[in-house]
Chains A and B, each alone.
Chain A
Amino acid sequence: MNKISFVKLGAVLGLALYFSSAWSAPLRVAATLPDLAALTQEVGGEAVEVVRLTTPAQDPHRVIARPSLIAKVAHADVVVAVGMELESGWLPVLLRQARNDRLTPQGGLIDASKAPGLTILGKPAGSVTRDEGDIHPDGNPHYTLDPRAMLPLARHIVAQLKEQPGADTATLDAGLARFETRWGAFLAGWLKRAALLQGARLVLDHESWPYLLDAVGAIEAGVLEPKPGIPPTTRHLAELGTMLSRQPARAIVIADWRSPDAAQWLSDHTGLPVVKLPTGSGEEGLEAHFDAILNRLLQAAAR
C-alpha cells in the first residue's frame, strides 16, 4: 500500500512538472496563414517560436486536416487564426482533435479579426443563404492582403501574446515598437508607389482581393467565379467578356496557386493581361511579399 502511494505521488509530481515545463521557454505559436506566421515572428522575435499550418501555395479555404497539423496544434501554446469562418472547414476539427486545453478563446486562441482598428469589408447586409455561394456572413476574411492591416494586427497579436502565461513581455513590447516604426516607413513608400493604380479596374478570380484593391485605390471590374467558391463557367466568363468590352479593365488578377484556365480564356477573348499574385507571404518576409504584389500589379497596369 505504501509503495502504491509513493508511485501515485511520483506520477502526479511528474505530470505537474511535465505540464509546467512550457514556462519561461519561448511561446510556441501555430499560425493558420503564412502571413500571420510571418507577422508574429517579426514582432515576437525571441519571445516566440512560430510554425505555420498552411503554405502560400495553399488555398486557405480548402486545407486537408492532416495528422501533422493535429500534432502542431496539440503542441502549441497559442494559435493565431484569421477567424471570420475562413478556416471553418478545417481548424475546428484540428482544435477538437488536438484537445489542447491552452487553446481557449480567453487563453491561447487568438482571433486576429478581432484586432481593434482593423477595417472589415464585404459584410453582407441582411441575411445570407448558400444560394449566393460560399459567403462569409461576418464579412470578407482576406484582410491579410492589405498592408495597412499589419499595424492593428501586430498590436492585437502582441497584446494577446502578453496575456499568455510565461510570455516575455519586454521582448514583445520592444519587437512591436521596432515593427511599428519600420512598417510605418515601409507603408508610406508602398502607398506612394501604389498611387499609380488609383482608379484602375481589375478583374478578380475570387473575392480575395478587395482589401488589396482598397489599399491601392483600384476598382473591382468583375469576378471570374459566378458566386464565391463556385468554379467559373463558360457562360459566366462570356458575359464577363461582353461587359468588359463595354467597360474596359486593366488586368485579371488571380491567386498564383489557382488554375489559370478560366483567366486565360478571358484573357484570350479580351486581351487583358493575367497577373498571378501570391496570397501569402513565404520565407521572404512581409515587406518583400507586399513589394512583389505591387510590382506585378504595376507591371501589368503599365502595359
Chain B
Amino acid sequence: MNKLRFAPAIRLALVCAVGAMGTQAGASSLQVTDNRMNPAVSLIVWGQYSQASHNQPLTLPGMPLGGEAGAWDRGFALRESELSLSAMVDPHFYAFAALAIAPEGGLSAEEAYGETTDLPGGVQLRFGRFFSALAYNNDRHAHVWSFNEPSLPYQAFLGNQYGDMGVRAAWLLPTPGYAELFVEGFSGERYPTAGRVGGQGAKVVALRLGGDLNDETSWLGNLGYLDARSQDRLEESDSQSFTGHGHVAAASLVLTWAPDGNPLERNLKVVIEAMQRREAGASVDAATGGALASGTRSQTGYAVEGVYQWRQGWEGGLRFDVVGLAEQIPTGMSGGSTPASRLSAMTTWRGSEFSKVRLEASQEWTGRGTGDAPNTRVTLDYMLSLGAHGAHAF
C-alpha cells in the first residue's frame, strides 16, 4: 500500500529530473570558454632562490610542519610544478585534475575530482580528492596565493592546506546576493585527521556569502567548521601519537577595491583569516605506547594580508600571521608555549597575466631560528603559466 502511495511522487520526481536534464545540452562550444581545446591544459612552472639567517626547518610544537611546510632550504629550489586538466566530460559532469610534480620526481594528485553540472536548484555534487571550502585560501591553489608560503594558521592547523578524498554537496541559495552552503565529508587520512576513523574522519560545513559595497568595493565572507577525528596521529617528530576528536573553526573576510571597479591599473585586496583549533584526546609515546597526557587543548591563530597594485604589472603586500594565541595545553601534551608569529613584505612584477616574479622578505619568530633569535628570510621566486588562460575565481 505504501509502495503505491509513493509511486506518484517518484514518477513526478523522475519527470522533473528528466526535464531538468533535457534543458542541459552538449559540452560548451561558446568561445568565451577556454576549453575549445578539450580539455583545457595548463602547467605552472614555479621555482625560487632563498636565503635565511638560520636554515632550520620551521617547527611549531604539536604541529606537524614536516612534509611540505617549511621545507624550503636555502639556495635554489624548484617548487611544485602543477599540471592541471579540466573539461566538461559530458552534459552531466565536469572533471578537474591538478597533478603536482615534485622536484625530486613523482606525481601526486593534488586535486582530482568530478562535479555534477546539471542538478536543478543550484545544487552541485563534487567527488574525488579536493581542497575543502573550510576557509577562503584553502580551496585556492598555492600558486594564486599572494605570499610564498601559506600563513601560520594554515601551516599549523591544516598542514598547509586541507584536502582529502571525499564528497561535497554545494547549494547556491536562491537569494538576491551570493550565498552558498557547503557540506563535505572526507575519509580522514590527511592532517588534521589521521587513521581514517570509520572511513569518514572529517566533516565540514561552510557558508560563503558575498556582495558589493559599491561599484568599487566587493566583499566575501567564509565561515567554516571542520570536525576531525584522529587515530594515532604522529606529532613531535613522530615521537608522540595523538588519538582524539576535535575541530577547526575558520572565519575569512576578503575585501577588494578598484577605482571605478577597474582593476587594470590600481587595486587593493585585503584578506583576514582567523582559525581556532580545539582537540580532546590522549597522547601516547609512539615507541612504547605509554600514556603521556590526556585532556583538551585549544589554540588560535590569525593572518592579515593586504596587497596593493599601484600600477599595471606591479604590486606590493604585507602580511602578519600568528598562531598559539589563547593556548590551553594539558601538561605533557605537545603544543607551543609561546605564540609563533611572522611579518612578511613582498613585491611582485607581472610580465603579463601568465608570468610573475616575486621578491619576499620575512621575519619569523617561529622557532625556525635557533633559540629565541628571529629568523630573517628573503625569497625570490618566479611563476610561469603555460597553456589555458587561468580564469581565477574571486
Chain B interface, >50% SS class: loop
A234: shortest Cβ distance to chain B, in Å? 14
Assess whether A115 is interfacial by the CB under 8 Å rule: no
Q: From known contacts A89-B353, A99-B124, infer whether A68 and B32 are also in contact, taking CB-CB under 8 Å.
A: no
Are B391 and A93 in touch, CB under 8 angstroms?
Answer: yes
With both beta carbons as reference points, the residue of chain A lying nearest to B394 in the complex is identified as A65
Query: CB-CB < 8 A to B215: which residues of A?
Result: 55, 57
> From A89, which residue of chain B is reached at the shortest CB distance?
B391
B residues in contact with A66, CB < 8 Å? 210, 212, 218, 256, 394
Q: What's the least CB distance linking A192 to chain B, in Å?
A: 34
Range, interface on chain A: 35 or more
A204 an interface residue at 8 Å Cβ cutoff? no
How many angstroms from the CA of A134 to the CA of B25 in the assembled complex? 31
Is the beta-carbon distance between B30 and A93 smaller than 8 angstroms?
no
Chain A nearest CB, measured from B13 CB (Å) = 5
The verdict on A133 contacting chain B, using a C-beta distance below 8 Å, is: yes
Among A12, A58, A68, A130, the residue within 8 A (CB) of B218 is A68
A107 CA to B263 CA, complexed, in Å:
32
Q: Does A84 contact B (CB under 8 A)?
A: yes
- Taking the nearest CB of chain A, how far is it from the CB of B179, in angstroms? 8
Q: Which of A257-282 contact B (CB under 8 A)?
A: 257-259
Q: A2–B2 contact, CB under 8 A?
A: yes
Contact A64 B26 (CB under 8 A): no
Whether B218 pairs with A229 at a CB distance below 8 angstroms is no
Residues of B within 8 A of A63 (CB): 263
A25 to chain B, nearest CB (A): 15
A12 with B256: CB separation less than 8 A: no
Q: Using Cβ atoms and an 8 Å threshold, which residues of chain B touch A178?
A: none
Q: A71-B178, A97-B393 are in contact. List 14 more A-B contacts (CB 8 A).
A: A15-B121, A54-B261, A63-B263, A74-B172, A74-B178, A85-B31, A88-B32, A99-B124, A101-B24, A104-B26, A105-B30, A107-B23, A113-B31, A134-B352
Instruction: Kindly list the 4 A-B residue pairs having the minimum CB-CB distance in the complex, ordered from nearest.
Output: A67-B210, A57-B260, A67-B178, A9-B9
Residues of A in contact with B (beta carbons under 8 Å apart): 1-2, 5, 8-9, 12-13, 15-16, 18-19, 32, 54-55, 57-59, 61-68, 70-71, 74-75, 81-93, 95-102, 104-107, 109, 111, 113, 130, 133-134, 138, 229-231, 257-259
Q: 23 A-B residue contacts at CB 8 Å?
A: A1-B5, A2-B2, A15-B120, A32-B32, A58-B261, A61-B264, A64-B218, A65-B392, A65-B394, A66-B218, A67-B210, A67-B219, A68-B210, A68-B211, A81-B30, A91-B32, A92-B33, A111-B31, A229-B352, A229-B353, A231-B313, A258-B265, A259-B312
